[in-house]
Amino acid sequence: MADPLHELVARLLAASGDGELARLSPGLSCRLALCSGGERAVVHLEDGALRHAGATVAADLELELGQGVLQRMLEVPPPPRHQGFTALQIANADVRLEGEDLVVARARSALERVFEIALAAPEAPAAPRRRNPGRIAGRRVRLDCAEGGVEIHTQVSGRPGATPIVFLHTAGADARQFEAQLADLDLGENHEMHAPDMPFHGLSLPPLGWDGSAYNLTGERYLDWVKAYLSQVVGRPAILAGCSMGAAVTLLCAARSPELLCGVLPLEPPFRASGRINRGQNDVSVHAGLHNGAFVRGLMAPTSPEGYRRRASWIYSQGGPGIYQADLAFYSLEFDGAEIAPRIDARRLPVVLLSGAYDYSATPEDGARLLALMPGARQIVMPDLGHFPMTEHPDLFAVYLDEALAHVAQGGGEQTSTASN
């Protein structure tokens, strides 16, 4: 084997016996071939243990690493799109994966963990924030929507009557993603904060009138829920801060109902996020809890604290059947930034796009394309964060959120794009 390939294999084998790997791979037996520069090595994963199986044995999956990919993977930290198995598979044009889709889906949780260990990096430093989770109050509210009455669960914290912020969770997740922000004492001094679970998500149960058929999400339905919450629960113009799917509907609301808003903070905003729907997300032959938690794991920065990354993944392991995939039908198939962004008047309504460099679903380049269509908007690129900045590294994200909120408080300004350090 060439030296870089030998080093990668050695790093992968070091994950053998990892307790989390064993939890994520019940009953799995999979041989992965790694190919680079004419060299080949096969790693066999079984019962949470790994061994080098040689160079010539048949494999279930073949991962072909193009020129330069292997060297970049071995950097500390690895650069964006080189930080994990799914990042390599989906987002790296110099990587080719061969194998049956369902085999990939069944092995994803284990392979994501193995590569996470192999490509680990030191944490990005950040000053700790003052937090008190005891300040968060949960309650149920009823929304009168076009489809009828909808009961949802929401969390509220901060100073009542202050400038409201409404946080919207990502596809397939829930408002637990924003617990660190809701508990943030400095944020709470100046804001009344809300984080609702959308219907079918988190503690928001399906409507009693639901007939049990497949859940579906469209832009119209999603926007109706958000507008109902803003008008009926918040009751005054709010800063809308949605992430990923939540960022898409935040932009949609800014375009169609700006009177409900006093600021817009799309976190990880997509332009056209194609390719996110995956058969393994909702298939009877795949453990969706294992698969979906792993599918999002590689979207985070390797420099984010491991405990927070585990929490972000855990939320995805608990979603209802088919919910994540149906949310992605709006996020990945329907939403079109080229259509929505030009309809937003960012000179009158402050807009700050926050884009994590390690996010390959809604990249900083996607944010820049949106920015170009919204004169007066601003973009902040976060070099050490990924797709779930508020969850994966809340202390570091707080610096960027403070910057964005200061821009909104000033009423916006000249269009800019900055990469913060």
Range of the domain at 114: 3-118
Q: Is residue 164 in some structural domain?
A: yes
Query: pLDDT (tens digit, 9 = 90+) per residue, 35-55?
Result: 999 999 999 999 999 999 999
Pair (97, 138) in one structural domain: no
Whether the ω angle into residue 77 lies within 30 degrees of 0, i.e. cis, is yes
Q: Is residue 125 in some structural domain?
A: no
Question: Residue 259: helix, strand or coil by DSSP?
Answer: helix
Residue 238 predicted with pLDDT over 80? yes
Pair (76, 164) in one structural domain: no
Residue 1 predicted with pLDDT over 90? no
Q: What pTM does this model have?
A: 0.96
Among left, alpha and beta (phi > 0; psi -120 to 50; other), residue 411 is left
CA dist list (Å): 114 to 81, 104, 152, 177: 16, 14, 38, 25
Domain boundary among 67, 84, 118: 118
Pair (16, 74) in one structural domain: yes
- As beta bridge partners, residue 240 has 166, 264
Residue 2 predicted with pLDDT over 70? no
- Closest by CA to 24, choosing from 11, 15, 33, is 15
Pair (243, 163) in one structural domain: yes
Pair (49, 81) in one structural domain: yes
Residue 353 predicted with pLDDT over 60? yes
Domain boundary among 86, 118, 150: 118
Q: For residues 15 and 279, give the distance between their C-alpha atoms in angstroms, rounded to a whole number.
A: 27
Q: Is residue 163 in some structural domain?
A: yes
Residue 413 predicted with pLDDT over 60? no
- Which CATH number characterizes residue 152's domain? 3.40.50.1820
Determine contact, residues 30/58, Cβ cutoff 8 Å.
no
Number of domains in the chain: 2
Provide the mean pLDDT of the chain: 96
Among left, alpha and beta (phi > 0; psi -120 to 50; other), residue 161 is left
Determine contact, residues 209/319, Cβ cutoff 8 Å.
no
Pair (70, 193) in one structural domain: no
Q: Is residue 205 in some structural domain?
A: yes
- Closest by CA to 86, choosing from 56, 50, 119, is 119
Q: For residues 220 and 335, give the distance between their C-alpha atoms in angstroms, rounded to a whole number.
A: 11
Give the strand pairing for 137-145 and 148-158.
antiparallel
Pair (109, 138) in one structural domain: no
> DSSP character for 169?
P
Q: What is the widest separation between alpha-carbon atoms in the chain? A: 68
Residue 406 predicted with pLDDT over 60? yes
Give the strand pairing for 39-46 and 49-54.
antiparallel
Other Cβ atoms less than 10 A from the Cβ of 250: the count is 25
Pair (175, 113) in one structural domain: no
Rg (CA), the chain: 21
Q: What per-residue confidence (pLDDT) applies to 274? A: 83
Q: What per-residue confidence (pLDDT) applies to 202? A: 98
Q: Is residue 123 in some structural domain?
A: no
Pair (100, 231) in one structural domain: no
Pair (173, 243) in one structural domain: yes
Q: Is residue 154 in some structural domain?
A: yes
What integer is the mean pLDDT of 273-291? 93
- Which CATH number characterizes residue 53's domain? 3.30.1050.10
Q: What per-residue confidence (pLDDT) applies to 419? A: 66
Domain boundary among 118, 142, 169: 118
Query: pLDDT (tens digit, 9 = 90+) per residue, 67-119?
Result: 999 999 999 999 999 999 999 999 999 999 999 999 999 999 999 999 999 99
Other Cβ atoms less than 10 A from the Cβ of 20: the count is 16
Q: What per-residue confidence (pLDDT) applies to 3? A: 87
Phi, psi angles (nearest 5°) of residue 100: -70, 140
Within 8 A by CB and 6+ apart from 306, the residues are none
Q: Is residue 381 in some structural domain?
A: yes
Residue 421 predicted with pLDDT over 60? no
Q: Is residue 127 in some structural domain?
A: no
Pair (192, 50) in one structural domain: no
Pair (156, 299) in one structural domain: yes
Query: pLDDT (tens digit, 9 = 90+) per residue, 171-220?
Result: 999 999 999 999 999 999 999 999 999 999 999 999 888 999 999 999 99
